Amino acid sequence: SYVLTQPPSVSVAPGKTARITCGGNNIGSKSVHWYQQKPGQAPVLVIYYDTDRPSGIPERFSGSNSGNTATLTISRVEAGDEADYYCQVWDSSSDHYVFGTGTKVTVL
């Protein structure tokens, strides 16, 4: 089955840039989506189709996808960005949806 690997944690100072990677075999050939989840809340979509932002999501959130790695970038990080982040793809070979292992972003 298809596996998506994320770093368990990323720490960043306010105002700096956080980069969260999502590794998968030839993930660049798939559409990658990203979700933010704060404690006790449901996940919220922050990036879809590699780079697109849903309405209401700040421009500080951006995405990229190439080769074996997709990346979610959070620019000018704020305290409110502290959350868990998950990448997600559709694996057509197994007809399964796959989530990454998740990354906890801590704002120092």
Partner 1 sequence: EVQLVESGGGLVQPGGSLRLSCAASGFTFSSYEMNWVRQAPGKGLEWVSYISSSGGIIYYADSVKGRFTISRDNAKKSLYLQMNSLRAEDTAVYYCARLESTTLRYFGYWGQGTLVTVSS
Query: According to CB under 8 A, which one of 5, 21, 31, 69 is a site residue for partner 1?
Result: 31
Query: According to CB under 8 A, which one of 18, 61, 74, 86 is a site residue for partner 1?
Result: 86
Does 97 bind partner 1 (CB under 8 A)? Our answer is yes
The 3 state secondary structure assigned to 68-83 is CEEEEEECCCCHHHCE
User: CB-wise, 33 or 77, nearer to partner 1?
Assistant: 33
Distances (CA, A) of 1 to 4, 16, 21, 59, 90: 10, 36, 20, 34, 11
Does 1 bind partner 1 (CB under 8 A)? Our answer is yes
Binding site for partner 1 (CB under 8 A): 1, 31, 33, 35, 37, 41-45, 48-49, 54, 84, 86, 88, 90, 95-102
